[in-house]
Every structure is written in structure tokens, then in C-alpha cells.
Amino acid sequence: MQNKKAEKQFFDEFVINNTNYDVFDKNGYKVLTNKFKELIAPKKGQILLDLGGGTGAFGNKLNQFDLNINIVDISFNSVKIANKLNNSIQADIEQLPFKENSVDIVCYSGVLHHFENFRKVLQEGYRVLKSGGKIFAYEPHYYNPFMWLYRAKNSPFSSIKGRTNNERLLTELELFFELFNAGFLNKNIYINPVSGITYKYIDSKVISKLLFLYNFQERLFKYTGLENELGSFLIVCAEK
């Protein structure tokens, strides 16, 4: 079970103190939007739900594709900011207020790892997708050494600073298993690690001083064979 109260409180308070929740730099978003374009092949006017979209940090970057974007998040303060550029709705993404077969694209903006079990979240995404519709997601990778050191709960260097107690790291196997159980066919599921998703902000004064080292290794991994095994984020695409 997700502690929804804690999740809502964390992001409501973060937005009050920092105005926006936007952690990746220009290069990081470029990697994500390029993968989105490659895997989703978006068409003008398509309806997209950005689930767990927060203040619209990633969803707003997708405006370049001329989509009908709707940002959905549990945090009221976040969606109020997101509404400045796109439609936004405060809702629990385990119980979406959308009809079956009504949207073309479902995007999970780094939100699946905020759930102990995200099967219901994927089932809801599958339910609202039209036949032939696609999902896109990016999630922190358990087997990336730097992600593991800082974010894995069993790491001696793990820090809760700047994240909620709900968060954890994911594996390809878990994502595939839950996508399959949500209704997606094996042949229509794509999961692959990527690197190059660099940060501009992290809510830890100590770690932020070392952020340039993390970003350096991200660029290094991007141009080596290590990316396909140890990339920091798992990129997910699946078609209904």
C-alpha cells in the first residue's frame, strides 16, 4: 500500500518552498524526450495523460509534439502550477477519472517507483488506453551503482533527503512482470536501461556538491556498453 497522505504532503510542501519540482537539466530532458519521440511516435492532437506529472516538469517538455496533454497528480499544489501550461487534474492515479479506451498515450513521469506495488496503476493506464495506445515511463534502475548507493534502502549511504518513504528502485524483471499482469502482451513490451539523464538539482547539500561527478559518469555510461546493463533509468514502452 502506498502512503498517499505522506506522498501528498511531501510534494505539497516542496512546491510551497521551492515553487516547482524540476530536477533534470536540459540534457537530461533531451534524452527523455528523444526516447519518447522514438518509442511513441506521437501524432498531433493525440490525448496524453501524464500520470504523477507533478508541476508538469516533463509533461511541459512534450508540448513540442502538439499533444492534448492532461497532467494528473495527487498533489493539489503541484497541479495548480502545472495548469499554467496544460490541463491538470488532482486525482489518485490508482483510480483515474477517465473512461475506458479514451486516451492515446499514458505517460508515467517517474512515478511507478513511488508505489510498493504499482500493478493497479498500470491496470488503470491499460484501462483508459485506446486499442493501439501506448504507455511511456522512466524509472530509477536498481542495478545502476550510483542510484543504488544513494537511493537503495539497503545501501549504507542511502539518504531520505528530498524523497518520500514510498520511493524505491526498480528492476526490468519487476516492470515486465507487472506490465504483463496488467494486460500488455510480451511482444508489445519494451524495457531498456539508459544513461545521460543528468540532474540540475538534488535536495541534499552534501550530495549536491558531488552532482557534477554523477553527471560526468552519466555521460560516460552513455557512450559505453555499460549503458545497456547499468543505465541509471529504465525506459519503458508498451502498446495495448
Q: Tens digits of per-residue pLDDT, 99-141?
A: 999 999 999 999 999 999 999 999 999 999 999 999 999 999 9
pLDDT category of residue 35 using cuts at 50, 70 and 90: very high
Helix, strand, coil content of the chain in percent (nearest 5): 40, 20, 40
Is residue 31's pLDDT more than 70?
yes
pTM of the model: 0.91
Where is average pLDDT lowest: 64-78, 81-95, 180-194, 208-222? 208-222
**Pairing relation of β-strands 233-239 and 189-194?**
antiparallel
d(CA 110, CA 123): 17
Q: Extract the C-alpha cell encoding 201.
A: 538539482
Q: Domains of the chain by range and CATH?
A: 4-226 (3.40.50.150)
Q: Which residues pair with 68 in a beta bridge?
A: 47
